[in-house]
Structure 1
């Protein structure tokens, strides 16, 4: 049976994706029109098969190769080969090292105190805000996330070494220009764009090198909380270590900062849910201003809220795999060598698995509700052997930051400020998310 979808195009669908506002929105439009399995033209790939049914996704979960062209926009960040598409023989040992550190409780606990201090610093700054224009959530929280991952992966946040504002901006330049190149025709300003990307990359690599030089010799061999040290001990080359740090900085500050921003956005518009989160925080923390690591497991409703926010606004953009042999997805036969596309947002908005998908409802993540739903219906960090290695760390950071901020503040929207989603590698707000932070007293909303 032929897979439904739009006709092939000379530009591999670039104009259609651009007109829709990016791949995120385009995928939702395709699946709304054609169903759970769609064949569509994709720049650099030719034709891809997009799957928004979590049951059918199970058939692809073992695939371990990515289509190189689709992730080429990340190549400028890597000197020793694009880490997103290295073959399984290289990827597997590299992933094992990352998981041993990023997913391990020892490393989370080692850095937890630093994370708490950084969250308190931001809360203090917000407390001094005069409220005239409101707080720019995404700007402040991506910067906070970058400081956290710098402390984690690089061993510090010395402003003499790391200017977080410039680092965030440099990543935005690289990603915006590289992704945009996929969807726009060549123009007269391409040379200027290329210079901006090169300048941004030079700054990013220089920052990583400065910090690595500053901490050289200060690590302990076998320290499971030290990412750079673990990579070195595993025999990774200096270039591969730098590439890993670059990709980790990129992924971590986008994922956590954006996820927390959208969560606070939703809570600012749902005061009943915010009241319940506040009550849980008061019950678990008492008079304490921040949780310890063990407290995070007790903040079950906060975790439900975060998961529902990541369903509505998934922090990852998309996933893709290349089939190594023919596979069957429902009534469709997918040939070997095909690109299978994972549209995270479309999966999360599939009404067959998420009734009233646009509605914000943390109750979707009670244990009973989760048990009755397809395993891959919620995939904010991807699936299979190429899923996000830093997922566990990102969730720890997000829960901690939310706990600190929501213990101290209530949030309400800035009147008249519109929040519109836009694709900037991840789902962001076009003009940020502006809120007012109002102090709250323990035990009171």
Structure 2
């Protein structure tokens, strides 16, 4: 591995370099811009690591089915029966099969589509009313709440108590435990490990985790009393598969965590980009008017008749991936191009850097939905675009997330006109996903169809 380019070793194991870059997402962009598509680097939680931002090289890793345990240790507080992100293949494969049977099936998507539409319409009503007061809306706050409500209705048997409180609690816990992994303590002052600031954050994280666990227990208890049995019932499917209660609670927690991030953040960044590219927004709304006519929302079958909307969403997820990185661990030597990677190496998937690779995405920082026209897609390697990961550990809810996001975008854009708030700066920051530091604030008004 020594012949792979990369930065000089650091005594802190790389944590300082990550912190100096503003997070792991930005650090990966810097690494690959400096050293090329394959980089050897230090990563807290990994003794040996290589980062792969080339889709052809990624093909050689797509079969890997082991995640590095230390790298995902920050998620352990969410789980009681073991970290679901690092289950061995013998446990992960049957568990994943249950999740896919619920989350990936088109019939179950169709069964819940009417309720999804009601929830999206409620948000459009709220935004229109708020727009009438002259106050801007906070996209990420409202859309992550909507996403959590949707996954509650879809797979958990009902809404998860107070969705806004749940979203805030997830952020509190993730910020604390990610900070423990990557933060470099400064000597003296409140930023020290064990100092007053850390103690206060730890207390808030414990309180947030207790809130989430109580919420999950109420979801599971309500499900038992309701006795749901349809095929889109995740808890019921896990019970039928023989999973123990603690594993079921852990799966509910993970589903809530993953689902509210994916859809809400993807839709937020899409609306942000459309607000800054009105010519693209006009083309999207023209397609919606043409396909939907006077209808305020699409039917499930209409989604396939909205190809430009899908292209816009995909381009937004290229620029701001819902899951910005992944990782696997080699269990045997692996050949990556001209390099031999030993067993026990962390193979890092920097999705953001991969999506910004100029060899496959010319002028990569430009927002250009036409990149996802069928002929353009056919010219690229299949792993040039991996917003939901790859291989046997990819996101089980990818198909559901896309259907939800396209529906929400269609409902909001058909009815409302969203514009950036003058002077409001939108800055991506690392909060497990690519979040906006001070949310994404936009003004909202009614839209008159062309």
1:133 Cα offset (Å): 4.0
Contact 1:133 1:414 in 2 (8 A): no
How big is the shift at 1:277?
Answer: 0.5
1:215 paired residue among 216, 219, 223: 223
- SS of corresponding position for 2:143: helix
1:330 counterpart residue number = 337
Partner of 1:116: 117
* Partner SS state of residue 335, structure 2: strand
Partner of 1:100: 101
Question: Which residue does 1:31 correspond to in 2?
Answer: 32
Q: Deviations over 1:226-252 (max 9, x none)?
A: 111111111111111110010010000
**Equivalent residues in 2 for 1:117-266, closer than 5 Å:** 117-129=118-130, 130=132, 132-157=134-159, 162-184=161-183, 185=185, 186-189=193-196, 190-221=198-229, 223-266=230-273
Cα pair 2:420 2:441 within 8 Å, conserved? yes
Deviations 1:332-388 (A, max 9, x none): 111111110000000000000000000000000000000000100000000000000
Secondary structure at the aligned position of 2:232 is classed as coil
User: Of residues 307, 323, 345 in structure 2, which corresponds to 1:316?
Assistant: 323
What is the RMSD of the two structures over their aligned residues, measured on CA atoms? 1.2
* Counterpart for residue 16 of structure 1: 17
Residues matched between the structures, number? 439
Q: Residues of 1 paired with 2:105 and 2:83: CA distance? A: 25
Cα distance, 1:288 vs structure 2: 0.6
Q: Deviations over 1:184-209 (max 9, x none)?
A: 23231344333222211111111111
TM-score (norm 1): 0.97
Deviation at 1:122, TM superposition (A): 0.5
Separation in 2, partners of 1:183, 1:61:
27
Q: How far off its partner does 1:47 sit?
A: 2.6
Q: Residue 284 of structure 1: which of 291, 298, 303 is its match? A: 291
Moved more, 62-71 or 121-130: 121-130
Question: Quick one: structure 1 residues 312 and 302, their matched pair in 2 at CA, closer, same or farther if it must change by over 3 Å?
Answer: same
Please list the CA deviations of residues 65-85 of structure 1 after superposition, one character each: whole Å capped at 9, or x if unmatched: 000011111111110000000
Question: Where do 1:372-411 residues align within 5 Å?
Answer: 372-411=379-418
CA 1:376/1:131 → structure 2, altered by over 3 Å: closer, same or farther?
farther
User: Any residues of structure 2 matched to 1:360-375 within 5 Å, and which?
Assistant: 360-375=367-382
Tell me, what secondary structure is at the counterpart of 2:60?
helix
Q: Using the alignment, how far apart are the partners of 1:300 and 1:143 within structure 2? A: 27
Query: Structure 1 regions of 5+ residues with no counterpart?
Result: none
SS at match of 1:76: helix
TM-score by structure 2 length? 0.96
CA-CA distance at 1:132 after TM superposition: 3.5
Q: Displacement of 1:225 after TM fit?
A: 1.1
Q: Determine helix, strand or coil for the equivalent of 1:84.
A: helix
- CA deviation string 1:164-223 (max 9, x = no partner): 1110111011100000111223231344333222211111111111122122143344x2
Q: Deviations over 1:255-291 (max 9, x none)?
A: 1000000000000111111111111111111111111
Distance (whole Å) between structure 2 residues aligned to residue 425 and residue 25 of structure 1 = 13
5+ residue gaps, structure 2: 186-192
Matched residue, 2:189: none
Please give the secondary structure, in 2, of the residue aligned with 1:75.
Answer: helix
**Equivalent in the alignment of 2:303:** 296
Determine the C-alpha separation between the residues in 1 that align with 2:92 and 2:353: 28
Contact 1:127 1:437 in 2 (8 A): yes
Structure 2 CA distance for partners of 1:132 and 1:220, relative to 1, 3 Å: closer
Equivalents in 1 of 2:227, 2:263: separation in Å?
Answer: 26
Q: 1:358 to 1:216 in 2, by over 3 A?
A: same
- Given that 2:55 and 2:384 are in contact with CA atoms closer than 8 Å, whether structure 1 keeps it comes out as yes
> Secondary structure of the residue that 2:322 maps to in structure 1?
coil
C-alpha distance in 2, partners of 1:305/1:219? 40
User: Which stretch shows the higher mean deviation, 201-210 or 378-387?
Assistant: 201-210
Alpha-carbon distance in 2 for matches of 1:125, 1:162: 19
CA distance in structure 2 between the aligned counterparts of 1:193 and 1:152, rounded to whole angstroms: 33
Q: Secondary structure at the match of 2:302?
A: helix
Please give the alpha-carbon distance, in whole angstroms, between the structure 2 residues aligned to 1:340 and 1:131.
50
